[in-house]
């Protein structure tokens, strides 16, 4: 199942167009694990609202995706996700930001 197909399911489950799914390397494992990035639209600091979104996401993905296609990680992004000139979500910037953050944590 492609990341675009998983993105479509995530978008329908959450009722929003701007989420992105990509693979991330996990140390000492083969392949990649799925990560979904979801914008918080204005940096929502309400823990209850975040928990509701995560429960909605978990339940929706459990119903609509097979286990092997479900993202393993969820990343909450403050604000909006970056778009290309053609109004397509820009995966590379968020993937690089995650990579840099993960490398920073190891040091």
**At residue 85, does pLDDT exceed 60?**
no
Distance CA 20, CA 88 (A): 10
Burial string for 52-83 (b: 16+ CB within 10 Å, else e) reads ebeeebeebbeeebeeebbbeebbebeeebee
What are 42-63's pLDDT values in tens digits? 555 667 778 888 899 999 999 9
- 98 has pLDDT over 70: no
In a domain, 106, yes or no: no
- The CATH code of the domain that includes 91 is 3.30.300.30
Per-residue DSSP letter, 35: E
Domain span at 73: 3-99
Position 107 in a domain: no
Residue 38 three-state SS: strand
The pLDDT of residue 24 is: 82
Total number of domains in the chain: 1
- pTM for the model stands at 0.71
Q: In which residue are the tokens 């479509």 written?
A: 8
Angle, CA of 70, 37 and 88, to the nearest 5°: 110
With beta carbons less than 8 A apart as the criterion, state whether 35 and 72 touch: yes
Q: Is residue 105 part of a domain?
A: no
CA distance 14 to 16: 6
Provide the pLDDT confidence category of residue 68 given band limits of 50, 70 and 90.
very high
């Amino acid at each position: 199942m492609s990341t675009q197909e998983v993105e479509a399911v995530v978008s329908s489950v959450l009722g929003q167009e701007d989420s992105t799914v990509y693979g991330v390397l996990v140390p000492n494992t083969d392949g990649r694990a799925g990560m979904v990035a979801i914008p918080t639209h204005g940096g929502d600091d309400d823990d209850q609202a975040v928990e509701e979104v995560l429960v909605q996401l978990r339940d929706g993905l459990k119903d609509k995706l097979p286990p092997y296609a479900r993202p393993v990680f969820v990343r909450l992004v403050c604000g909006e996700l970056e778009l290309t000139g053609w109004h397509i979500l820009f995966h590379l910037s968020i993937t690089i930001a995650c990579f840099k953050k993960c490398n920073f944590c190891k040091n």
